[in-house]
């Protein structure tokens, strides 16, 4: 089990500590990798996804492994090759309002089963970002679990309940999920273009290029019907978004439309992982747009 690849996502770490303190004995041999400790410890604690100027620790799991985080990734991959685990679960939180869900790069019976220990929905994504799951999925079943919003006690509970099931091997049936799973697919990564000034508010802000509705993350995992307003564009500004599908095509204008200064959904799609954190929106992405399979 790996966790804390992002220093502001503590649910997995808390679950591991709680498990170790409970003096329970896992049924299988278990390896824990707690990643971005420096970022997590940076004041005031559990607030930095990565340290400023340092590469995201879950975007560096492919060659050339040239950064410090990349070298750690390479060492962990070599330890995993040696240990030959039956499976891997990587625990995260996100920054917006989301239910718990899994993210699977490859989605077979085993991945469905692993996700179902933690959540009742899964996003199947072929988008290559350089994550630990992409780097391991060809060797053994490997999934990401997003436990819910970082700092929310409910998310800590998701991680804890799932970890206990995971370490109680009797509960894992690689042929069958423990609960039915909704599957979301065809993710499109929606980002703010470089240099675009962004804010989150309930009305257009005059000093930025794009204002996103501050309550928009309440719609994570809900279908936004065509025409739904998402935000406001400054009259002078250029088109502020880019959106990339799995084929690497830019398709933001087929998803959204500038309706006289109001940014609206052009087609019905489902936003997930939508953040209302400006730093994350600028450095990673605004949200992913998916479809229910």
What is the contact surface with Zn ion in residues (CB under 5 A)?
Answer: 6, 9, 92
Nearer to Zn ion, 149 or 219 (CB): 149
Q: Tell me how far, at minimum, the Cβ of 46 lies from Zn ion, in Å.
A: 12
Give the chain's count of helices (H) and strands (E). 8, 15
Q: Tell me how far, at minimum, the Cβ of 58 lies from Zn ion, in Å.
A: 6
Give me the residue whose beta carbon is nearest to Zn ion: 92
Q: Tell me how far, at minimum, the Cβ of 9 lies from Zn ion, in Å.
A: 5
Give the side-chain half-sphere CA count within 13 A for 58.
24
Nearer to Zn ion, 105 or 232 (CB): 105
- Structure tokens of 133? 């799951």
Nearer to Zn ion, 92 or 149 (CB): 92
- Residue 100 burial (10 A CB sphere; 0-12, 13-18, 19+): buried
Nearer to Zn ion, 230 or 290 (CB): 290
Q: How many residues does the chain have?
A: 293
- What are the contacts of 256-263 at 24+ separation with CB within 8 A? 256/230, 258/233, 261/204, 261/232, 261/233, 261/234, 261/235, 262/229, 262/231, 262/232, 262/233, 263/210, 263/212, 263/229, 263/230, 263/231, 263/232, 263/233
Q: Tell me how far, at minimum, the Cβ of 133 lies from Zn ion, in Å.
A: 11
Look at residues 40, 32, 13, 15 and name the one whose alpha carbon lies nearest to residue 76. 32
Nearer to Zn ion, 56 or 209 (CB): 56
Nearer to Zn ion, 93 or 205 (CB): 93
Q: Tell me how far, at minimum, the Cβ of 214 lies from Zn ion, in Å.
A: 22
Q: Tell me how far, at minimum, the Cβ of 91 lies from Zn ion, in Å.
A: 9
């Amino acid at each position: 089990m790996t966790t804390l690849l992002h220093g502001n996502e503590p649910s997995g770490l808390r679950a591991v500590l709680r498990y170790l303190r409970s003096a329970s004995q896992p049924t299988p041999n278990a390896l824990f990798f707690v990643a971005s400790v420096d970022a997590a410890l940076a004041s005031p604690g559990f607030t930095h996804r990565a340290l400023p100027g340092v590469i995201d620790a879950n975007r560096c799991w492919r060659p050339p492994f040239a950064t410090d985080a990349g070298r750690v990734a390479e060492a962990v991959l070599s330890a995993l090759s040696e240990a030959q685990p039956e499976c891997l679960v990587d625990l995260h939180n996100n920054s917006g309002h989301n239910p718990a869900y899994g993210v699977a790069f490859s989605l077979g019976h085993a991945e469905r089963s692993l996700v179902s220990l933690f959540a009742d929905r899964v996003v199947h994504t072929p988008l290559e970002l350089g994550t630990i799951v992409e780097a391991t999925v060809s060797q053994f079943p490997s999934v990401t679990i997003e436990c819910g919003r970082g700092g929310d006690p409910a998310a800590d509970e998701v991680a804890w309940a799932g970890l206990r099931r995971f370490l109680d091997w009797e509960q894992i049936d690689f042929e069958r999920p423990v609960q039915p799973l909704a599957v979301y697919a065809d993710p499109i990564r929606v980002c703010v273009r470089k240099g675009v000034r962004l804010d989150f508010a309930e009305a257009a802000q005059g000093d930025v290029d794009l204002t996103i509705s501050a309550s928009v993350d309440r719609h994570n995992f809900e279908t936004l019907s065509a025409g739904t307003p998402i935000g406001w564009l400054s009259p002078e500004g250029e088109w502020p978004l880019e959106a990339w599908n799995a084929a690497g095509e830019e398709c933001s204008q087929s998803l959204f439309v500038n309706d006289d200064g109001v940014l609206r959904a052009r087609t019905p799609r489902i936003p997930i992982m939508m953040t209302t954190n400006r730093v994350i929106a600028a450095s990673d992405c605004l949200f992913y747009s998916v479809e229910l399979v």
